[in-house]
A and B are shown apart, each in its own frame.
Chain A
Amino acid sequence: MAERLLVKGGLVIDPSQNIESVRDVLIEDGKIAEVRAGLSKQPGLKDAPVLDAQGLWVIPGLIDMHVHLREPGREGDETILTGTRAAARGGVTTVLAMPNTEPPVDTPSAVSFVKSKAVAEGAVRVLVAGAATVGQKGERLTEIVGMVRAGISAVTDDGRPMMNSELMRRALECCKDCGIPFIDHCEDEHLSAGACVNEGRAATAKGLRGMPWAGETVMVSRDIALSELTGAHVHIAHISAAQSVTAVRLAKKRGLNVTAEATPHHFTLCEEDAPGYDANFKMNPPLRSARDREAVLEGLADGTIDAVATDHAPHGPGKKALGLPLAPFGVIGLETSLALGITHLVGKKILSPKKLLERMSAAPARLLGLKDRGSLKKGMLADIALVHPGESWTVEARFESKSRNSPFIGMKLKGQVRATLVGGRAAFRHDHAL
């Protein structure tokens, strides 16, 4: 007898099928069996367990293609267990784990370790990105082919850029041969050395060294050229500068294989929003000018920016208390990303709900070549989030994540995840929900 669950009466929003209407969703053995109105009245389904989704969005589980789970090596900041619990709370059902752990994930055996740990302990599905260079030192390429066989979904030295253009070219050629994307953290380290915030008015007033926008854009432009040269898929991580968005827009117009993601903090905040020397607002790339934020919003609206990804980067409180110049870069984001999207993208009419979910689920599935998720079509994995779109809540410093380094604490948001199903089973349920 098949294991069944009927998600009843919710507003199903599925950009992959252009659906936005009240329907029932039948799950059988962890997969989507049917999406149709009035399913519950079918005689054969009368006894099936029911999840009442009236008043809620029923959406494909989110796919966050930029997450730092910190395990192995930095379990004090986050683990696969706590990071995936945070994901589930945010409606995220698949994460792509970045390889800059300690040691980095730069060998097939390291890939296997993370994958097996994720299967054993993960609350949601974990994909693994492999490092591009040994030890992420930017000197020698890793065993990319071996790591692909071990199951990586992308290659990246994220946390650091690929400064050596020749090495980048060779990595891209290998990625193209293997059919996976290269995700690049675009930063010219010579232009950003010693800097901790954006180069702008706030940095000047605070006496802090700033990173110029050009430090990102020169590398985005280089990557576009190398993508054209090699034909490889280059995905620009956490795009933040207006000029970088323009460069990607032009590359896409020319039909090049270049895609990009933006983070919730870059579409929500700008440098002027960072109070004093609060290191919870320190991230790389930094919060940039209001004009840059505007460009990110425009890029999300017109599809130049394909995906929303959090760059969830947990750091324990002690590290963020070092003072802004010394504190590590990065903020957490898994538990607030959807609500920030609903509040600041849907609420301000930058994106329709369907478009938002396209950027947060269907697009990342497409970019990572995942054919079994990011959609509620029949036969897909039953990875689903149930969301109350109108529910207001204030972000508190209580997270499933082990860390609390969020710039959004105290912010009022709309949109509350009420339940997250992975393979038809509850990975998260809101306290008093359902």
Chain B
Amino acid sequence: MTQRSWDRKDLLGLEDLSAAEIESILDAAVSFKSSEAPKNHSKLSNRTLAFLFSEPSTRTRSSFEVAARRLGAEVLGFSAASSSLLKGESLLDTVRNLEAMGVDYFVVRHELSGVLMPLAPKTKASLINAGDGAHEHPTQALLDLFTLREKKGTLKKLKVVIVGDVAHSRVARSNIFALLKFKAAVTVCGPTALIPHDIASLGVSVSQDLDHALKDADAVNVLRLQLERQKENLVTSLNDYYQAYGLTAERLAKNPDCMVLHPGPMNRGVEISSQAADGPQSAILEQVKNGVAVRMAVLSLIEGWRARHG
């Protein structure tokens, strides 16, 4: 295990994290996942964690909740879908009010990119980004990396394909930022309308040929296609999309070493076939399992920082 390297109050994204910081999280997650690890910890027993979600979520929110409870934290739900939180302007006020009530951690999902960045210096509480617009979803990418490292033994120089709606995906950005720190070769694949114009400048390759991209890939991360993209004319038809970019068992069969990841929820028959989603190359359920360990690791490292800084 590498020496732990963590000196941050918040986890806002992976772009600014070093490879060592990312590895610290992944290493900590190993111990939380271990079958010998106790399910109940007391590291956050005096802490309160609140959710501020202005977008619906089942997976991420449940995963964080399980992680926080296993660490002994008190968990406060907050339904923001119909509140003024949606406007963004009162997010700081909400955080400050709840902070005054003794909340130490906020797990925030918001539809606006970058909404947490100016907030973090204005609160003593720790902010964890659970998805901000099309910007970052750091813990999802961390659990992707954890799963990759677990299966492939290393992150160094892996070949990873990210296929689908990269333009609107926070998962894609966090994965790209993190994987490139480990000198991975990342290819983004999808119709031009769903690939950001200047994405090559981030250091990735771009392809419109999924079969070619998958050829020697270690893993493929399949992004969900939001169905409204067809209404926006970004894809001509779901059938067209499936033909060109759907991950099928036939496509996967040409590269049996290629592992399948998907952040969920899946549109079966749109971006992925059921055989591919449930087949032997799929690590999708393992990702979900790893999510709890990774989020426990994040909370635990931030708690270490809080303990050191009073």
A411 to B195, CA, bound (A): 36
A303 within 8 A of B: no
The answer on a CB contact under 8 Å between A324 and B89 is: no
The answer on a CB contact under 8 Å between B202 and A201 is: yes
A204 within 8 A of B: yes
A194 to chain B, nearest CB (A): 10
A209 to B117, CA, bound (A): 17
The answer on a CB contact under 8 Å between A203 and B114 is: no
Stretch touching chain A among B38-46, B69-77, B127-135, B270-278 = B127-135
Interface string of B191-204 (1 = CB under 8 A from A): 00000111101100
A277 within 8 A of B: yes
- Cβ 8 A contact of A325, one of B112, B136, B196, B202: B112
The answer on a CB contact under 8 Å between A207 and B134 is: yes
The answer on a CB contact under 8 Å between B112 and A326 is: yes
Residue of A nearest to B170 (CB): A207
The answer on a CB contact under 8 Å between B114 and A210 is: no
Within 8 A of A (CB), among B74-129: 87-89, 112-115, 117-118
The answer on a CB contact under 8 Å between B114 and A201 is: no
Within 8 A of B (CB), among A186-208: 199-201, 203-208
A276 within 8 A of B: yes
The answer on a CB contact under 8 Å between B87 and A207 is: no
The answer on a CB contact under 8 Å between A201 and B113 is: no
Interface string of B133-170 (1 = CB under 8 A from A): 11110000000000000000000000000000000001
B15 within 8 A of A: yes
The answer on a CB contact under 8 Å between A277 and B87 is: no
Residue of B nearest to A319 (CB): B89
B132 to chain A, nearest CB (A): 7
B180 to chain A, nearest CB (A): 12
Contacts of A278 on B, CB cut-off 8 Å? Answer: 118
Contacts of A325 on B, CB cut-off 8 Å? Answer: 88, 112-114, 133
The answer on a CB contact under 8 Å between A322 and B89 is: yes
The answer on a CB contact under 8 Å between A205 and B202 is: yes
Interface string of A314-327 (1 = CB under 8 A from B): 00001001111110
> Assuming the A-B contacts A200-B198, A207-B173, A277-B117, are A323 and B88 also in contact, with contact meaning beta carbons closer than 8 angstroms in the complex?
yes
A118 to B268, CA, bound (A): 64
The answer on a CB contact under 8 Å between B89 and A208 is: no
Residue of B nearest to A212 (CB): B197
Size category of the binding interface on chain A? 20 to 34
- Cβ 8 A contact of A207, one of B118, B136, B198, B201: B136
> Assuming the A-B contacts A200-B198, A201-B198, are A323 and B112 also in contact, with contact meaning beta carbons closer than 8 angstroms in the complex?
yes
A324 to B132, CA, bound (A): 12
The answer on a CB contact under 8 Å between A208 and B134 is: yes
> Assuming the A-B contacts A206-B113, A207-B170, A277-B118, are A199 and B136 also in contact, with contact meaning beta carbons closer than 8 angstroms in the complex?
no
> Assuming the A-B contacts A201-B201, A208-B114, are A326 and B133 also in contact, with contact meaning beta carbons closer than 8 angstroms in the complex?
no
Contacts of B199 on A, CB cut-off 8 Å? Answer: 204
Contacts of A326 on B, CB cut-off 8 Å? Answer: 87-89, 112
Within 8 A of B (CB), among A68-95: none
Contacts of A199 on B, CB cut-off 8 Å? Answer: 197-198
A210 to B112, CA, bound (A): 14
- Cβ 8 A contact of A324, one of B114, B134, B170, B173: B114
The answer on a CB contact under 8 Å between A207 and B133 is: yes
A278 to B88, CA, bound (A): 14
A326 to B197, CA, bound (A): 22
Count residues on chain B whose CB falls below 8 Å from chain A CBs. Answer: 23
A325 to B173, CA, bound (A): 18
* SS class, residues of chain B in contact with chain A: loop
Residue of B nearest to A325 (CB): B112
B283 to chain A, nearest CB (A): 25
> Assuming the A-B contacts A277-B114, A318-B89, A325-B113, are A206 and B201 also in contact, with contact meaning beta carbons closer than 8 angstroms in the complex?
no
A102 to B132, CA, bound (A): 33
Within 8 A of B (CB), among A345-389: none
- Cβ 8 A contact of B89, one of A205, A210, A277, A321: A321
A200 to B198, CA, bound (A): 5
- Cβ 8 A contact of B132, one of A204, A207, A209: A207
Contacts of A210 on B, CB cut-off 8 Å? Answer: 196-197
- Cβ 8 A contact of B114, one of A206, A318, A321: A206
Contacts of B134 on A, CB cut-off 8 Å? Answer: 207-209
Residue of B nearest to A204 (CB): B196
> Assuming the A-B contacts A322-B89, A325-B112, are A205 and B117 also in contact, with contact meaning beta carbons closer than 8 angstroms in the complex?
no
A322 to B115, CA, bound (A): 9
The answer on a CB contact under 8 Å between A205 and B114 is: no
Within 8 A of A (CB), among B50-86: none
Contacts of A204 on B, CB cut-off 8 Å? Answer: 196-199, 201-202
The answer on a CB contact under 8 Å between B197 and A323 is: no
Contacts of A276 on B, CB cut-off 8 Å? Answer: 114, 117-118
Residue of A nearest to B118 (CB): A277
A209 to B197, CA, bound (A): 10
Contacts of B196 on A, CB cut-off 8 Å? Answer: 203-204, 210
B223 to chain A, nearest CB (A): 14
> Assuming the A-B contacts A201-B201, A204-B201, A277-B114, are A322 and B87 also in contact, with contact meaning beta carbons closer than 8 angstroms in the complex?
yes
The answer on a CB contact under 8 Å between A322 and B135 is: no
Residue of B nearest to A193 (CB): B232
B261 to chain A, nearest CB (A): 20
A199 to B198, CA, bound (A): 8
A206 to B198, CA, bound (A): 12
A397 to chain B, nearest CB (A): 16
Contacts of A277 on B, CB cut-off 8 Å? Answer: 113-115, 117-118
Within 8 A of B (CB), among A250-294: 276-278
Within 8 A of B (CB), among A299-318: 318
A207 to B88, CA, bound (A): 16
- Cβ 8 A contact of A322, one of B88, B113, B170, B197: B88
Within 8 A of B (CB), among A203-248: 203-210, 212
> Assuming the A-B contacts A276-B118, A318-B89, are A208 and B113 also in contact, with contact meaning beta carbons closer than 8 angstroms in the complex?
yes
A47 to chain B, nearest CB (A): 59
Residue of B nearest to A276 (CB): B117
Contacts of B136 on A, CB cut-off 8 Å? Answer: 207
| Interface residue ranges, A against B (CB under 8 Å) | 199-201, 203-210, 212, 276-278, 318, 321-326
11 further A-B contacts with Cβ under 8 Å, apart from A204-B201, A210-B197, A323-B115, are: A199-B197, A206-B113, A207-B114, A207-B135, A277-B113, A277-B115, A321-B89, A323-B88, A323-B89, A324-B114, A326-B112
| Shortest beta-carbon contacts, A-B, top 3 | A207-B135, A277-B114, A207-B134
7 A-B interface contacts by CB (under 8 A):
A207-B113, A208-B113, A210-B197, A276-B117, A277-B113, A322-B88, A323-B88
| Interface residue ranges, B against A (CB under 8 Å) | 15, 87-89, 112-115, 117-118, 132-136, 170, 173, 196-199, 201-202
